[in-house]
Amino acid sequence: MKAIDLKLLRDLWRMRGQALAIAAVIAAAAATFILSVGVHESLSETREIYYERNHFAEVFAGMTRAPRTVVERVEDIEGVRQAEGRIIQFVTLEMEGRVEPIRGVINSVEDGGASDLNQMILTEGRGPGLEEAGEVVVDRSFAEANDLHPGDEIDALIYGTRQTLEIVGIGLSPDYIWAIAPGDLIPDESRYGIFWMGRRALEAATDRTEAINSLSLTLDHGASEAEVIRQLDIILAPYGSTGAYGREDHLSHAFLDNELMQLDAMTRIIPPVFLLVSTFLVYIVLGRMIRTEREQIGLLKAFGYTSRAIAWHYLKFAFAIAALGIVLGAIVGIWMGRNMTELYAEYYRFPFLVYQLSPETFASAAALALASAGLGAIGGVRTAIELTPAIAMAPPPPAVYRAGTVERLSNLAGFTSIGHMIVRHISRWPGRSSMTVVGVSLSLGLLFSTMSFIDSSSSMLETNFFRAQRQDVSVTFIEPRNEDVLYDLGRIPGVLRVEATRAASARLRHGPLSERVAIESADDEGTLWARIDSAEQEVPLPPAGLMLSRRLADKLGARTGDRIEVSMLEGRRSVSVVPIAATIDELVGSRAYASSATLAQLTRDRAPVGSALLRIDTNQRDAILAELQEMPIVLGVTERNAALVKFEEMIDDNIITMIGFYVAFASAIAIGVVYNSARIVFSERARELATLRVLGYHESEVALVLLGELALLIAIAVPIGCFAGYWLAQLMTAMFSSDLFRLPFAPTRATYGFSILVILAASALTAMIVARRVMRLDMVRVLKARD
């Protein structure tokens, strides 16, 4: 090994503490990058392969009932490659020992579970017979959650008739990767199951012989999806179609897209923060190192080393630290990636989902880390290049301090000499002092903004479950009913209040833009369902016209007062022009609302009740649920509490781990920045500190010079960090928002407090470690050395 490389190794070893602190920040950048990009890649590639192999459709349509022959007509539409009709039927399940509502959806399949599109994969057992009544394949998550195996039986209420389902196999399919029961926010695999049943058997059970209620199609390459949807809507209109839609509106696909978008947002925000800090750190540490090695650099140049060789020597120092960071980051990133992927596998129903780090991702992470370290090294390396041998061999000019603005301020404040030392040192090195402030602020900002996601979740929970939904139970019907059903429900003992709601599919058009939505309405005097805007205010339904969520209005390019064309996709399928009476800034979904009178005018039918909201006496819950399940008109029953519990469980399961990660990563920055600043201040001031000890200052008083400077910088960093965090959190909530939902920005004081405490604790502990060196300061040796 060349002597100059031995120097490099020994320098690294001598400065191992500082090198490790920088490597930790680079590791955090690499880890978060490898985590988010790797998981994104694993998820999207797995999804792609799954879609490809199992022929996931591209366009979907639901309808009340259409003859099977409609499939051939659809296949004739230009651009349609393949079409397939199915029956998809929501059912209520009865399982022994379970009183809470358990729901399922049964899909028709050909003999043995075959289909052309959205093909089901059997993981266990066999497919159902075409005509075998009751034979079903059940989805793997539901089977696992409920300990179901081939040979087991469940009772189901299908289309008002009780039937025993015999499980013959376990499977899963690409149209139910994210399987969520209507009205739920997150999947609940123990209370919502996907089933596949032989086509003839399901036709018989649902009284739809040679009929279908769902269509899936794939398109030719280059075909216009919008045009196919337009023609499809025309063909399906007579059959009670609720409007055709593409993959981007397919619930399972859209949720995954949303997740991918969030991972992407994470990649674009979090690793850059760490990279920025690591650049700062390399800049200040290498800069200091090169200043102290002036004489060595001069010597090397005098010996004939070229400037390029010396530049490369110091760049290698930066790259070695980056390399260590990359290795550490890859280990942590892969480990976190695996854990996160396992978590995804719990919520997303993939046949297989493994975290795989592609060489490209690893290479990108490595390139980013090397680039940020290299960028940080440039300043110092340039100084090294510019030093001429003669200048480099002479001692550096003494640090020049002059009286300036800071001076007058500190005089006004009546500082002691120690106070002057602290303040002047900060103003003597404004660049490094600012970087310390920026670094600590960023760590605080990062911690605050990630922690505020937890606030956002609780706020969403609060808005959705406590302010918007006030019912205990919601009941959906097989088809819209007239108001008599409300009296039937109200007669059940223990039911305290019953309110009707309805949602009717419609296509809204404004100029060239169109969107398929469900127009929702409620009782005019209803109290069980409220619309809460992002300012947490309750917004009433407009007496006339439509109220659109802000996001929907934006998608239509429409504003309050504009008139839009409303084509109802159910009832009498009327087409009317209706004004937008109001918009509402909502967090979840793109939704449209109307008063019940307005919706009745639009649908022109006499069945104003699509579902009912119930407030019940919780002591009689079990009896009420049992009675509801006995009613033939009931399609499904949802308990608000169960959804709430599931949501809270999801948060609770992950919250400790999440906080742990957030704290560890943000602390890595604070520790890296404070440790390096402290070490540099200490090395610059060792001689002064030793002098103070000689003059009779106690160790604690001398440590104050070091700690005081850091404390002052950290004190400045805290308010800046709070602002940075506020801004970063807003940016992140904005970037994490999608069509499906928007995160509320709802930071609490506790989050500010917690973040500040964590960063202060991390900084203080780190500073203490360096301050201990003051205790071990060898006065004699330091004083003997010349500056």
Please check whether residue 65 is in contact with residue 55, taking contact to mean a CB–CB distance below 8 angstroms: no
Contacting another protein (CB under 8 A), which of 6, 309, 399, 544? 399
CB of 13 to another protein, least distance (A): 17
Under rule CB under 8 A, residue 699 binds another protein: yes
Size of interface with another protein, in residues (CB under 8 A): 32
**DSSP β-ladder status, 211-219 and 575-584:** unpaired
Under rule CB under 8 A, residue 694 binds another protein: yes
Q: Which is nearer to another protein, 69 or 416 (CB)?
A: 416
Q: Which is nearer to another protein, 209 or 700 (CB)?
A: 700
What is the gyration radius of the CA atoms in the chain, in angstroms?
33
Amino acid at 278: S
Q: Which is nearer to another protein, 420 or 467 (CB)?
A: 420
**DSSP β-ladder status, 531-532 and 513-522:** unpaired
User: Rounded distance, CA 353 to CA 363, Å?
Assistant: 23
| Choices 239-247, 396-404, 649-657, 750-758 (CB under 8 A): range interacting with another protein | 396-404
Q: Which is nearer to another protein, 507 or 685 (CB)?
A: 685
Under rule CB under 8 A, residue 432 binds another protein: no
Q: Provide the token pair at 711.
A: 């404390």
Contacting another protein (CB under 8 A), which of 294, 338, 425, 531? 425
User: Rounded distance, CA 353 to CA 40, Å?
Assistant: 12
Give CA angle at 631 (626, 635), nearest 5°: 95
Q: Which is nearer to another protein, 399 or 633 (CB)?
A: 399
**DSSP β-ladder status, 592-593 and 513-522:** parallel
Q: Which is nearer to another protein, 1 or 400 (CB)?
A: 400
Long-range contacts of 413-420 (CB under 8 A, 24+ apart): 418/701, 418/704, 418/705, 418/708, 419/708
Q: How far is CA 331 from the centre of its chain?
A: 22
Q: Provide the token pair at 244.
A: 């055709």
| Choices 459-467, 604-612, 685-693, 748-756 (CB under 8 A): range interacting with another protein | 685-693
Under rule CB under 8 A, residue 405 binds another protein: no
Q: Which is nearer to another protein, 417 or 619 (CB)?
A: 417
Under rule CB under 8 A, residue 693 binds another protein: yes
Q: Which residues pair with residue 592 across a beta bridge?
A: 519, 548
8-state DSSP, 620: G
User: Helix (H, G, I), strand (E, B), or coil: what is residue 104?
Assistant: strand
- Segment 150-169, which members bind another protein (CB under 8 A)? none
Under rule CB under 8 A, residue 780 binds another protein: yes
User: Rounded distance, CA 520 to CA 553, Å?
Assistant: 15
CB of 675 to another protein, least distance (A): 23
Under rule CB under 8 A, residue 406 binds another protein: no
User: Rounded distance, CA 60 to CA 254, Å?
Assistant: 13
Query: CB neighbours of 91 closer than 8 A, spacing ≥ 6?
Result: 103, 104, 105, 106, 156, 157, 158, 159, 195
- Segment 375-394, which members bind another protein (CB under 8 A)? none
Q: Which is nearer to another protein, 306 or 416 (CB)?
A: 416
Under rule CB under 8 A, residue 509 binds another protein: no
Please check whether residue 106 is in contact with residue 202, taking contact to mean a CB–CB distance below 8 angstroms: yes
Q: Provide the token pair at 35.
A: 């985590």
Q: Provide the token pair at 26.
A: 């680079």
Under rule CB under 8 A, residue 696 binds another protein: yes
Provide the 10 A C-beta neighbour count for residue 6: 10
CB of 384 to another protein, least distance (A): 24
User: Rounded distance, CA 264 to CA 261, Å?
Assistant: 5
Please check whether residue 705 is in contact with residue 61, taking contact to mean a CB–CB distance below 8 angstroms: no
Q: What is the pattern of x (binds another protein, CB under 8 A) and - over residues 283-322?
A: ----------------------------------------
**DSSP β-ladder status, 513-522 and 192-198:** unpaired
User: Rounded distance, CA 23 to CA 318, Å?
Assistant: 10
| Choices 237-245, 316-324, 370-378, 400-408 (CB under 8 A): range interacting with another protein | 400-408
CB of 702 to another protein, least distance (A): 10
Under rule CB under 8 A, residue 395 binds another protein: no
Q: Which is nearer to another protein, 565 or 699 (CB)?
A: 699
CB of 767 to another protein, least distance (A): 20
Q: Provide the token pair at 710.
A: 């850091």
| Choices 204-212, 237-245, 423-431, 758-766 (CB under 8 A): range interacting with another protein | 423-431
Under rule CB under 8 A, residue 417 binds another protein: yes
| Choices 134-142, 414-422, 560-568, 737-745 (CB under 8 A): range interacting with another protein | 414-422
Q: Which is nearer to another protein, 259 or 684 (CB)?
A: 684
| Site residues, another protein (CB under 8 A) | 398-403, 416-418, 420-421, 424-425, 428, 687-688, 691-699, 701, 779-780, 783-784, 786-787
